[in-house]
C-alpha cells in the first residue's frame, strides 16, 4: 500500500547501523520528502543578502564624475541592522542539513562520495561561468569607452567580494562526505573539535596581533556550522525540550552581546566575515535555536501556494541569484550615475533623508532585476552533466581548480586579465568532472568474411 507524502516537516534520520548503539540515542527514520520549511528559510536568507547588498552599494556624482562607494561605512544605523541581516551562519547550517539529505540519498541509490562531489561542483560552477564572463566583458567595455581606471577597478572589487561564498561553499560541500562519516562515528566530538579549533584560532590571533591567522577560521567556523546542520537534519536539536532550546539560543545571544560590548568582536556582524570569527558560531547557534523552535509554524507557512511558489523559484536558482545580484546592483548604479550626469536624476548622499526615501524604490528595482536574471538564467543550475566522472582524483582536481579560479578574483582583484585566468580554471574544473570520452571501437570482421580480407599488397590473409 502506497503511503502519501504530505508536504510537512520530515521526520529525522535513523542512525547508520555501523555506529555503536551506545554512542548516541537513536533517532527516528529518515525523511521521505523535502523539508519545505527549511527551503523557505534558505530562500529568505537569499532575500536578506540581496537587501544587504542593496544597502551597501552607494553611488554619487561629484565634479570628477561617478563615485562608487560603500554607503554603510561609518553609518551608525548599519551595525544594528547586521544583527538582522547576517544570515550566512544559518545558511551554512541549512547547507549541512540539505547536504546530508542529498548525500545519503546518493548512497542509498548506490552512489559514492565522488558522485556527490561531482554533482556539487557542476551545480555551483556552471552558473558562475556566465556571470564571471559577463563581468569581464563589462569591465573591458568600461575601459574602452574611457571610464576612469580607478572607477573600473572599484567596480571590479565590488563585484568580486561576494565570490568568497562560492569558494567557501564549494570547499565545504566537497568535504561534506568525509565530515559526515566523522559525524556518524563521533558526532559530538567532531563538532566540539571544530568549535574548539575556531576558538583557539581567535585566541591566537588576539594574542599575536596577526590578523592573517584568523583566516584559518575559513575552515573551522564554516565547517562547524555545516556540521551543526547534520544535527538539525537528524532531529537531535528538535528532540531537545523547548525550554532547553530557548535557553541555549538566549545564552548564545547574550554571550555574543557580551563579547561585542567587551570589544572582543565587532558590533558589525558583517565585519566578522573577514576573517571569520567565532562570533559567527554564536550567531549560528542562536539562529538555529530560533529555527528549531519555529519549524512547525514555518512549515505551515511554507505550504501556502504563494509562499511555496516563491520558495520553489528561489530554490531552483539560489546560486544564480546570488552570483548575479551584485551585477544587477552595479548595473543600476551605472544607470543612476548616467542619468545624474545628464541632469535627469539627483543622487542624494548616503544615509541622508533623501537617500532613505529612495531606498524602497532602489531595493525594489534590485529585487526585480535580480529575479529577472534568475528567471532567464536559472536553468543553468538544472543542466544535467553528461558522462560524470567516477574518478576521485579528477573530482579532487576539479574542486581545486574551481577554488583557484575564485581565489584569483578574490586575492588579485577582478580585472579583465584575472577574469580570463579565473574562467580558464573554472572551465578546466568543469572539464575534469566529465569522464574522458572513450574512442569508438572498430567493428570486428565477421568470421565468414575473414578469408576475403586482404593486406595492403593485395594478398589474401
Q: Does 444 score more than 80 pLDDT?
A: no
When pLDDT is averaged across residues 183-192 and rounded to a whole number, the result is 97
311, HSE (Cβ side, Cα atoms, 13 Å): 19
- Cα four-point dihedral sign 18, 23, 29, 32: negative
> Cα–Cα distances in Å, from 135 out to 116, 128, 154?
29, 11, 13
When pLDDT is averaged across residues 117-143 and rounded to a whole number, the result is 95
When pLDDT is averaged across residues 202-218 and rounded to a whole number, the result is 96
When pLDDT is averaged across residues 212-229 and rounded to a whole number, the result is 97
* pLDDT tens-digit map of 353-377: 999 999 999 999 999 999 999 999 9
Please state which of the ranges 45-54, 65-74, 230-239, 293-302 shows the lowest mean pLDDT.
Answer: 65-74
Higher per-residue pLDDT: 448 or 362: 362
Q: Which of 436, 433, 419 is nearest to 129 (CA)?
A: 419
* pLDDT tens-digit map of 303-333: 999 999 999 999 999 999 999 999 999 999 9
**Helix, strand counts (H, E) of the chain:** 15, 2
* Alpha-carbon span 70 to 158, nearest angstrom: 9
When pLDDT is averaged across residues 278-293 and rounded to a whole number, the result is 98
Instruction: Supply the pLDDT for residue 316.
Output: 94
When pLDDT is averaged across residues 61-73 and rounded to a whole number, the result is 88
When pLDDT is averaged across residues 218-245 and rounded to a whole number, the result is 97
Instruction: Supply the pLDDT for residue 382.
Output: 85
* Alpha-carbon span 125 to 105, nearest angstrom: 22
Element (H, E) at 179: helix 164-185
Instruction: Supply the pLDDT for residue 381.
Output: 87
When pLDDT is averaged across residues 386-390 and rounded to a whole number, the result is 93
Instruction: Supply the pLDDT for residue 329.
Output: 94
Instruction: Supply the pLDDT for residue 375.
Output: 95
> Which grid cell sits at 93?
547550517
Using only C-alpha atoms, the chain has a radius of gyration, in whole angstroms, of 26
Higher per-residue pLDDT: 439 or 296: 296
Instruction: Supply the pLDDT for residue 33.
Output: 58
Mean pLDDT of the chain: 89
Instruction: Supply the pLDDT for residue 457.
Output: 41
**8-state DSSP, 87:** -
Instruction: Supply the pLDDT for residue 437.
Output: 79
When pLDDT is averaged across residues 340-355 and rounded to a whole number, the result is 94
pLDDT bucket at 8, cuts 50 / 70 / 90:
very low
Instruction: Supply the pLDDT for residue 442.
Output: 58
Instruction: Supply the pLDDT for residue 193.
Output: 98
Element (H, E) at 57: strand 57-62
Q: Which residues of 184-200 are buried (b: 16+ CB within 10 A; e: fewer)?
A: bebbeebbeebbebbee
Instruction: Supply the pLDDT for residue 31.
Output: 47
Q: Does 20 score more than 70 pLDDT?
A: no
pLDDT bucket at 29, cuts 50 / 70 / 90:
very low
Please state which of the ranges 27-36, 281-290, 403-412 shows the lowest mean pLDDT.
Answer: 27-36
Q: Does 111 score more than 60 pLDDT?
A: yes
Instruction: Supply the pLDDT for residue 439.
Output: 67
> Which grid cell sits at 195?
568549535
Q: Does 456 score more than 90 pLDDT?
A: no
pLDDT bucket at 24, cuts 50 / 70 / 90:
very low
Amino acid at each position: 500500500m502506497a503511503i502519501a507524502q504530505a508536504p510537512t516537516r520530515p521526520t529525522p534520520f535513523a542512525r547508520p547501523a555501523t555506529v555503536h548503539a551506545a554512542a548516541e540515542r537513536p533517532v527516528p527514520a529518515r525523511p521521505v520528502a523535502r523539508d519545505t520549511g527549511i527551503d523557505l528559510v534558505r530562500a529568505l536568507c537569499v532575500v536578506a543578502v540581496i537587501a544587504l547588498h542593496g544597502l551597501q552599494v552607494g553611488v554619487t556624482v561629484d565634479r570628477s564624475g561617478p563615485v562608487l562607494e560603500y554607503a554603510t561605512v561609518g553609518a551608525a544605523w548599519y551595525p544594528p541592522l547586521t544583527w538582522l541581516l547576517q544570515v550566512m551562519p544559518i545558511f551554512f547550517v541549512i547547507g549541512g542539513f540539505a547536504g546530508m539529505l542529498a548525500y545519503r540519498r546518493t548512497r542509498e541509490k548506490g552512489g559514492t562520495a565522488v558522485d556527490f562531489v561531482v554533482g556539487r561542483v557542476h551545480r555551483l560552477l556552471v552558473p558562475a561561468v556566465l556571470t564571471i564572463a559577463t563581468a569581464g566583458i563589462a569591465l573591458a567595455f568600461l575601459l574602452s569607452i574611457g571610464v576612469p581606471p580607478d572607477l573600473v577597478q572599484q567596480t571590479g572589487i565590488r563585484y568580486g567580494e561576494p565570490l568568497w561564498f562560492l569558494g567557501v561553499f564549494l570547499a565545504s560541500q566537497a568535504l561534506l562526505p568525509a565530515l559526515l562519516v566523522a559525524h556518524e562515528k563521533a558526532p559530538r566530538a567532531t563538532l566540539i573539535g571544530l568549535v574548539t579549533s575556531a576558538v583557539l584560532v581567535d585566541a591566537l590571533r588576539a594574542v599575536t596581533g596577526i590578523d592573517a591567522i584568523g583566516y584559518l577560521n575559513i575552515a573551522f567556523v564554516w565547517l562547524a556550522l555545516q556540521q551543526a546542520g547534520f544535527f538539525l537534519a537528524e532531529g537531535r536539536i528538535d528532540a531537545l525540550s523547548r525550554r532547553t532550546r530557548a535557553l541555549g539560543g538566549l545564552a548564545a545571544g547574550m554571550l555574543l552581546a557580551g563579547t561585542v560590548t567587551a570589544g572582543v568582536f565587532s558590533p558589525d556582524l558583517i565585519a566578522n566575515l573577514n576573517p571569520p570569527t567565532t562570533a559567527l558560531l554564536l550567531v549560528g547557534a542562536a539562529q538555529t535555536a530560533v529555527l528549531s523552535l519555529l519549524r512547525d509554524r514555518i512549515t505551515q507557512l511554507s505550504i501556502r501556494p504563494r509562499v511555496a511558489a516563491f520558495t520553489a523559484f528561489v530554490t531552483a536558482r539560489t546560486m544564480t541569484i546570488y552570483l548575479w545580484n551584485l551585477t544587477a546592483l552595479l548595473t543600476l548604479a551605472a544607470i543612476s550615475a548616467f542619468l545624474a550626469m545628464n541632469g535627469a536624476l539627483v543622487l542624494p548622499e548616503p544615509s541622508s533623508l533623501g537617500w532613505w526615501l529612495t531606498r524602497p524604490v532602489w531595493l525594489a528595482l534590485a529585487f526585480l532585476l535580480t529575479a529577472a536574471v534568475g528567471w532567464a538564467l536559472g536553468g543553468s543550475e538544472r543542466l544535467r552533466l553528461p558522462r560524470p566522472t567516477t574518478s576521485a582524483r579528477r573530482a579532487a582536481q576539479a574542486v581545486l581548480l574551481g577554488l583557484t579560479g575564485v581565489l584569483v578574483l578574490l586575492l588579485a582583484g577582478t580585472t579583465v586579465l584575472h577574469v580570463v585566468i579565473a574562467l580558464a580554471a573554472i572551465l578546466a574544473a568543469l572539464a575534469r568532472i566529465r569522464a574522458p570520452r572513450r574512442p569508438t571501437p572498430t567493428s570486428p570482421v565477421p568470421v565468414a568474411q575473414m578469408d576475403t580480407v586482404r593486406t595492403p599488397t593485395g594478398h589474401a590473409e
